[in-house]
């Protein structure tokens, strides 16, 4: 399997995490690892940083934040095995589209892909009966302690 295939497979596994909340009713992982809510809070932060990095044309940071987001999804899926396989594809395509846009350094494709990624988050929440958790593309950065433009371009 090539690197792209591995990334997609990991993402597909990771995209299953929110369903674990709905199906298992478990707040913590079976091995007393991080709570699913904590993992999802990290994913939300990574989603925001991904957006601001891309909007600032800091493609290296955007790539890093996307990798962190994927890792959070994989962590959730591995710690919460009750997540059904039927939700596996909810996030795979939007994440791949975002990765492609970041790799191409294409701001227009990036904005569209992150919008689709955000829609994927909401679709997953809705499928789990958690439609009250609604994500949006960030509008204001809460990260006043981090610069998003690449160094030398502030």
Mean pLDDT, to the nearest integer, of 53-61?
98
pLDDT of residue 7: 45
CA torsion sign for 122, 37, 78, 6 is: positive
Q: What percent helix, strand, coil does the chain show, rounded to 5?
A: 65, 0, 35
Give the global pTM: 0.77
The string of pLDDT tens digits covering residues 77-122 is: 778 776 555 555 578 899 999 999 999 999 999 999 999 999 988 8
Query: Taking the domains of the chain in order of start, what are their residue ranges?
Result: 3-23+35-127
Is domain 3-23+35-127 classified as CATH 1.10.10.1590?
no
Tokens of 14: 């990771």
């Amino acid at each position: 399997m090539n690197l792209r295939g591995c990334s997609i497979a990991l993402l597909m596994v990771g995209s299953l995490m929110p369903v674990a909340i709905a199906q298992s009713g478990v707040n913590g992982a079976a091995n007393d690892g991080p709570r699913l809510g904590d993992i999802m809070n990290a994913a939300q932060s990574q989603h925001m940083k991904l957006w601001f990095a891309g909007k600032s044309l800091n493609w290296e940071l955007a790539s890093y934040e996307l990798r962190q987001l994927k890792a959070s999804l994989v962590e959730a899926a591995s710690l919460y095995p009750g997540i059904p396989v039927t939700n596996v594809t909810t996030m795979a395509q939007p994440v791949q589209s975002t990765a492609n846009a970041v790799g191409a350094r294409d701001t227009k494709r990036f904005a569209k892909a992150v919008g689709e990624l955000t829609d994927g988050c909401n679709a997953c929440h809705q499928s789990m009966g958690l439609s009250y958790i609604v994500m949006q593309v960030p509008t204001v950065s809460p990260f006043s302690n981090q610069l998003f433009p690449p160094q030398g371009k502030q």
